[in-house]
Amino acid sequence: MTDAQASMEAPGEADRPQMKVSDEVAIQIEKMNKWFGSFHVLRDIDLTVYRGERIVICGPSGSGKSTLIRCINALEEHQKGRVVVDGTALSSDIKNIDTIRSEVGMVFQHFNLFPHLTILENCTLAPLWVRKIPKREAEETAMHFLEKVKIPEQAHKYPGQLSGGQQQRVAIARSLCMRPRIMLFDEPTSALDPEMIKEVLDTMIALAEEGMTMLVVTHEMGFARQVANRVIFMDAGQIVEQNEPEEFFNNPQSDRTKLFLSQILGH
């Protein structure tokens, strides 16, 4: 019962103007519902993301956090509700979806680089074929972002020759080459060795400092504390609690959040 109350109160965003970075809405999700078969994975999700916000989404596995961000670029289809990304409402129209996807970058848990292409080709592929940018320009942009993630010297190697951390940084650069206005991160460090997690997080922190709108599904609570201006806790397909990181970690409201935090911070 207390949980239900908490989840009723927590998403009330109107009374949290202090969390906004700007007034411009980047993503608007209203009463979104999704089912996998008869399994109700996302229940009445309401979420407004303002331009420049860094949001960390956490929660136990199976709580629907990955599914939530995958609905934003239509990798998963939601069945009920409204999703507006960057002023474009998600519909089943393919053109519409491709437009949104080219504006929203996504970084995956398993990097998903294209193994048959070099690092540089991975980065220039979408700009060349989706944005129709001339090759020279696309390569310059790619090198710019590869320098930004600190691996320009690997440009002519293949993904299979790089370490996990390097591959994930390439994946970030590949997304940035499309000059996205929003970046989604789906557990970007979960498949990495501990010493590689830092290099990827550093890249993400640098990106956040430049004002990129970011939605990050992660269990890296240090990252959340340092970078996020909002932390969302999900359980059983619903947003249970959201707050500024300071408040969220020091003074969690719902019992489930407390339990979750005690489990992941307790060791």
Binding interface with another protein (CB under 8 A): 73, 75, 94, 98-99, 101-102, 104-106, 108, 110-116, 125-126, 129-130, 158-161, 174-175, 178
Distance CA 103, CA 112 (A): 19
Distance CA 105, CA 26 (A): 13
21 versus 75: smaller Cβ distance to another protein: 75
Distance CA 213, CA 235 (A): 23
**Taking the complex as a whole, how short is the minimal distance between the CB of residue 231 and another protein, in angstroms?**
24
130 versus 259: smaller Cβ distance to another protein: 130
58 versus 162: smaller Cβ distance to another protein: 162
224 CB-near residues (< 8 Å, 6+ apart): 56, 58, 216, 218, 231, 245, 248, 249
Distance CA 243, CA 115 (A): 40
**Taking the complex as a whole, how short is the minimal distance between the CB of residue 202 and another protein, in angstroms?**
23
Distance CA 149, CA 244 (A): 28
32 versus 104: smaller Cβ distance to another protein: 104
**Taking the complex as a whole, how short is the minimal distance between the CB of residue 84 and another protein, in angstroms?**
18
**Taking the complex as a whole, how short is the minimal distance between the CB of residue 9 and another protein, in angstroms?**
34
**Taking the complex as a whole, how short is the minimal distance between the CB of residue 117 and another protein, in angstroms?**
8
Distance CA 176, CA 193 (A): 24
63 versus 167: smaller Cβ distance to another protein: 167
Residue 10 tokens, joined: 């927590």
